[in-house]
Structure 1
């Protein structure tokens, strides 16, 4: 028995020593990177990570970045990238140690990394032990992951605040719960900077070859300003940055005689972000009525299914198509006056039938918005639509050209970065 206790004690001691050594090596790697930007929030983290990296590259900074979102990517200083390989395909916050070690090899000026923790305790560990950011980004507070961070949005705001750097700077575009964020920042002696999305002009937004939001661009400009990159250089860097695989997109598909626009909004799987995306697309005339709203339901996301059903009342589509499993969770939350517009295609339908049923209820020259969650029948639908031919608009207007290739515009940048409560030129 004494022998077993001795072996057990030696094993524990060996693990302790190994842990101390790994932490010291990790701290050494962190110290070789002078600026570390940790991007947290509910929606848009991957896009903001790429925009921040692009803005800093525009200022001739050596930048390494890592996203987690739709497809985890390690982004090299020259903006090339490769997938982050995970054992058994399972994400774990410990992978950040390897990312920092790999980033340190390039001796970068900055590391921009997306927070991959959801549990509040893990968010704090991610900041205090794994990244030790000098600049934090808390993009927004939305209705998602309520089981882990909720149940209320105030609780979500406090949970996300655990990633704020103590004695550092945190940049946010959140407005509704800004007061809570200010309180949490004060506890950590952290300077909170709230950006105004309207400080980004429509002319500046026109330089992007994909769909993004003024909130995201305003945050990236504020990060760049903190690191000494001027607005013009930052915008040029963002315009030339490659978009995230999960970026909001619209495709033109031809199905028989029907010319349709299909908007993939699966990545924005909380109701507020989803509605913002739909509004943005309508504003840019990339989609229009009549509208078919496809809600993909998952059996492990019952609450989200219901939220998307409720959202149909704000969108007011011509048809509401339910696909996936446990579609009843969405159907019962569709407003009573829209129940007659619901088409329930629940279950695992064959791919050909799924597409034909969706197209059957969609009018010619209509738009389809796919919301909810991409996994399951959503992936099947996207795969089948990708095989359909496209069509070209006759007028070739700017609004019709959605996925134009990104180019660095040469027009002069005007405007100023406006922070709520103060202005800096």
Structure 2
């Protein structure tokens, strides 16, 4: 009977699921000395985890406040900031960061998570919660558990919220045009996927500022028994990168009865993360491929240049067809607005991209030399913005080439300054001295 019950529960969990759940890293993390190994993603492992369902719910009930961070962009950095704020305020904190370099942070102590096998599964959270939550319950301060939602489909996002965690608060960072292959073709589809993943009784803090999308999500979430508030961004922070996520932290603090972040801390954070040009001998460049969705890329472009003409380099990946389609539309929009004269395209399927946009393009093969491509990007003398995808050996080599050119420029400047000082000293030494 136990095996039959476990099998039935597994079928309930797994209906409509993908065979594996792969997620991408959004943030680079420093790791600590104590790794944690998480379990197998095999069918046997999943059945074993399913039998722990009742015990898992009881463990979750021990946590005073559960926060889940969801959305398209900025999940990892927002999760980290929430962890930092609650830890500094004396809470007992347990935080799970997902991605290719997953971490678990307990009261500021960082544990890298080592997975057995190449797959990333949602079910690894069960063993992590079972191991660490009892430690939370043993402390006197109020405890807070913060989880980054690692689902990349509507089903897995909902499963994470409704079965693997029990959030009091969900922070929705934003709704950007990415993961369109798995979460929906349009931003409205993406908003629907996020809204449908909210359990009854959960309060949502939404950083998404689009009024139509917010109204749509509000109706959907309230219909399901949840509540939602839209993050209020003051006029002086309007349009700044990361403004919706830092003010989302303040909204969460308000929900749990904590005072807001000091104004100077917010200003310092926003100032530190605003994009600035990298100056090379050839010209100005910025790597916006790390944000990898068109809305975030456009925000970066506006902060950097506003209406100045640029040279875009869009790097494509074969496994990101939805992202490729959205960047094709974005490049056409920039061309129509006379913000670009041509586009440089690299990576996979460059010919198909070029044939489907009404924009002059120059294609660079996957075997191209990143150093040579970088030189060609500055031919027209315009600022260069890298876009699209950054997780690829080609883009890593291009970033290394940029860093090397920055180093060479600084060395040349230092050498020039040393020569100037030397010549000035020589001139002073040979200057005739006045005698009384």
Shorter-chain TM-score: which interval?
Answer: 0.7 to 0.9
Unaligned runs of 5+ in 2: 10-46, 137-141, 412-436
Q: CA 1:259 to 1:68, structure 2 compared with 1: closer, same or farther past 3 Å?
A: farther
Task: Report if the CA contact (8 A) 1:312-1:335 is conserved.
Answer: no
Partner Cα separation in structure 2 for residue 132 and residue 235 of structure 1: 33
- Could you tell me how far 1:136 is from its partner in structure 2? 0.9
Alignment of 1:349-368 (within 5 A): 349=368, 353-362=369-378, 367-368=383-384
Select the residue among 153, 156, 164 that pairs with 2:198.
164
Task: Report if the CA contact (8 A) 2:313-2:386 is conserved.
Answer: yes
The higher-RCO structure (CA 8 Å, 6+ apart) is: 1
Unaligned runs of 5+ in 1: 1-8, 206-210, 394-425
Aligned residues: 360
Cα deviation, 1:121-162, whole Å, max 9, x if unaligned, reads: 222211111011010122222222223222343222121113
In the alignment, structure 1 residue 273 sits paired with structure 2 residue 296: yes
In the alignment, structure 1 residue 222 sits paired with structure 2 residue 251: yes
Q: CA 1:237 to 1:228, structure 2 compared with 1: closer, same or farther past 3 Å?
A: farther
Alignment of 1:258-337 (within 5 A): 258=281, 260-282=283-305, 291-315=310-334, 316-317=339-340, 320-336=343-359
Alignment of 1:61-100 (within 5 A): 61-69=91-99, 71-78=101-108, 80-100=109-129
Select the residue among 175, 179, 189 that pairs with 1:141.
175
Partner Cα separation in structure 1 for residue 405 and residue 274 of structure 2: 19
Q: CA 1:327 to 1:82, structure 2 compared with 1: closer, same or farther past 3 Å?
A: farther
Task: Report if the CA contact (8 A) 1:248-1:265 is conserved.
Answer: no
Task: Report if the CA contact (8 A) 2:152-2:179 is conserved.
Answer: yes
Partner Cα separation in structure 2 for residue 193 and residue 33 of structure 1: 23
Q: CA RMSD in A?
A: 3.5
Cα deviation, 1:151-203, whole Å, max 9, x if unaligned, reads: 3432221211133231121111222311211111212221211112236758x
- Could you tell me how far 1:38 is from its partner in structure 2? 0.8
Q: What residue is the counterpart of 1:382 in the other structure? A: 399
Partner Cα separation in structure 1 for residue 162 and residue 229 of structure 2: 21
Cα deviation, 1:335-382, whole Å, max 9, x if unaligned, reads: 43xx1xx32112223xxx221222233159864322111233223322
Greater displacement, 154-163 / 379-388: 379-388
- Could you tell me how far 1:31 is from its partner in structure 2? 1.9
Cα deviation, 1:59-118, whole Å, max 9, x if unaligned, reads: 33232222225643323322x534332233322111222332344154172111111112
Q: CA 1:112 to 1:213, structure 2 compared with 1: closer, same or farther past 3 Å?
A: same
Bigger Cα Rg? 2
In the alignment, structure 1 residue 53 sits paired with structure 2 residue 70: no
Partner Cα separation in structure 2 for residue 14 and residue 54 of structure 1: 38
Q: What residue is the counterpart of 1:130 in the other structure? A: 164
Q: CA 1:201 to 1:145, structure 2 compared with 1: closer, same or farther past 3 Å?
A: closer
Q: What residue is the counterpart of 1:113 in the other structure? A: 147
Task: Report if the CA contact (8 A) 1:134-1:168 is conserved.
Answer: yes
Q: CA 1:181 to 1:365, structure 2 compared with 1: closer, same or farther past 3 Å?
A: same
Q: What residue is the counterpart of 2:385 in the other structure? A: 369
Partner Cα separation in structure 2 for residue 200 and residue 51 of structure 1: 21
Partner Cα separation in structure 2 for residue 240 and residue 111 of structure 1: 23
Q: What residue is the counterpart of 1:193 in the other structure? A: 229
- Could you tell me how far 1:32 is from its partner in structure 2? 2.3
TM-score (norm 1): 0.73
Q: What residue is the counterpart of 1:178 in the other structure? A: 214
Partner Cα separation in structure 2 for residue 110 and residue 389 of structure 1: 42
Greater displacement, 16-25 / 134-143: 16-25
- Could you tell me how far 1:248 is from its partner in structure 2? 7.9
Partner-residue secondary structure (3-state), 2:171? strand
Q: What residue is the counterpart of 2:20 in the other structure? A: none
Partner-residue secondary structure (3-state), 1:85? strand
Q: CA 1:214 to 1:372, structure 2 compared with 1: closer, same or farther past 3 Å?
A: same
